Amino acid sequence: MIGVGLFAMFSRGKFNIKMPSSVPQNIFESFFSLIPLMETTIIFAAVRLIIEAMNFASLNDMVTQLLVKPLIVVTNGLPAIIIVILIEQFLWFLGMHGFNIVWGVIASLWLSQHFANIAIFAKTQDPSTVKIIPYMFTNMYAMIGGSGSTFGLIIAALFICHKGTKEREVAKLGLIPGIFFINEPITFGLPIVLNPFLFIPWMLVPVINAVIAYFATSLGWVFPLVEMNPGSSVPIVFNYWVMADFHVSPAILCVLLIILDAVLYAPFMKMHMNNEERMAREQKTAEDAGVAAAD
């Protein structure tokens, strides 16, 4: 982008080779671009010489050494996990795909370390040598059933919502997709997006899950996740078992977190339902008043 900008700027300058109008257009353009190309190339060559003089192999190497490596150190702890979750959840609340937006940036910092973790465990088979790398950890424990850990919300809705209500029907429709970590039916069906009654649990439930899982893993109570996420092809609970090299403790933790999530979501779901019922009553009253006025 900088190169194109420099070339365009130099092309508008006075120091260009201009041929007579009788010269064919393609030849005219070839000569016209010579000096802007030379000027642009000289600038980039000078930048490269400066970078090499600073003992960096290339611009990519300089960016990696000065920016990426420090970011990796900063973004590996629990505070970084919480910040990433909160940003993702807030974007989702506004109607944007928080996972795609945030993960496109953070994966470049976390994914390589997760691969390194996998390689270490493959050699040692010792979970104590494995660090908590946020990539799969956040993906799994903070997103049980999808962003926002909405599988617990589905369970809460099925218990709280009355038969025939929109919310119960949405929960029933979202149950099977939720088992495979697809929660758009819930996110946009209830909806959660721009819903003030569900904002607090939507933001905090994934954070609570991550904090509990982080300390449970750090203390050795739960086997670390040492495999790649098998994706939506493996149902909930079983994929934790697979990712932990077929150890059951992460699957047990997943079940406990689902129960906790359902309890945390329940009172806010009740508030949402009460508001929906109040709005329905007000609408019916207004309609009845309209009919009476028409009569």
**18 and 132 fall within a common domain:** no
Question: From CA 223, how far away is CA 216, in angstroms rounded?
Answer: 9
Q: Is residue 60, in this structure, part of any structural domain at all?
A: no
Degrees (nearest 5) of the Cα angle 57, 80, 90? 115
**Count: domains in the chain:** 2
Q: Is residue 196, in this structure, part of any structural domain at all?
A: yes
**133 and 49 fall within a common domain:** no
Q: Is residue 71, in this structure, part of any structural domain at all?
A: no
Looking at the predicted structure, is the pLDDT value of residue 69 above 70? Answer: no
Cα→Cα distances 24→13, 19, 42, 63, 165, Å: 22, 9, 28, 44, 75
Average pLDDT over residues 232-238: 83
Burial (CB < 10 A; 0-12, 13-18, 19+), residue 224, is buried
Q: Is residue 295, in this structure, part of any structural domain at all?
A: no
Average pLDDT over residues 77-85: 86
Alpha helix (H) ranges present in 125-237?
134-141, 150-160, 166-179, 184-189, 199-218
Task: Rounding to the nearest 10 degrees, give the CA dihedral for residues 22, 23, 24, 30.
Answer: -150
Residue-number span of the structural domain to which 134 is assigned: 80-287
Higher pLDDT, 207 or 119: 207
Q: Is residue 74, in this structure, part of any structural domain at all?
A: no
What is the number of residues in the chain? 295
**206 and 254 fall within a common domain:** yes
Looking at the predicted structure, is the pLDDT value of residue 71 above 60? Answer: no
Question: Does pTM top 0.85 for this prediction?
Answer: no
Q: What is the pLDDT of residues 243-293, one digit of tens each?
A: 888 999 999 999 999 999 999 999 999 999 998 888 888 888 877 777 667
Question: From CA 291, how far away is CA 62, in angstroms rounded?
Answer: 73
Q: Is residue 62, in this structure, part of any structural domain at all?
A: no
pLDDT value at residue 282? 84
Looking at the predicted structure, is the pLDDT value of residue 64 above 70? Answer: no
Question: From CA 74, how far away is CA 72, in angstroms rounded?
Answer: 5
CA 131 to chain CA centroid, nearest Å: 21
**50 and 172 fall within a common domain:** no
Specify the DSSP element, H or E, that contains 40. helix 34-53
**240 and 165 fall within a common domain:** yes
Average pLDDT over residues 188-196: 90
**139 and 223 fall within a common domain:** yes
pLDDT value at residue 108? 73
Residues with Cβ within 8 Å of residue 60, at least 6 apart in sequence: none
pLDDT value at residue 23? 66
* 181: DSSP letter: T
**50 and 93 fall within a common domain:** no
DSSP string, 129-160: G----HHHHHHHHS-TTSTTTHHHHHHHHHHH
Average pLDDT over residues 186-202: 92
**34 and 106 fall within a common domain:** no
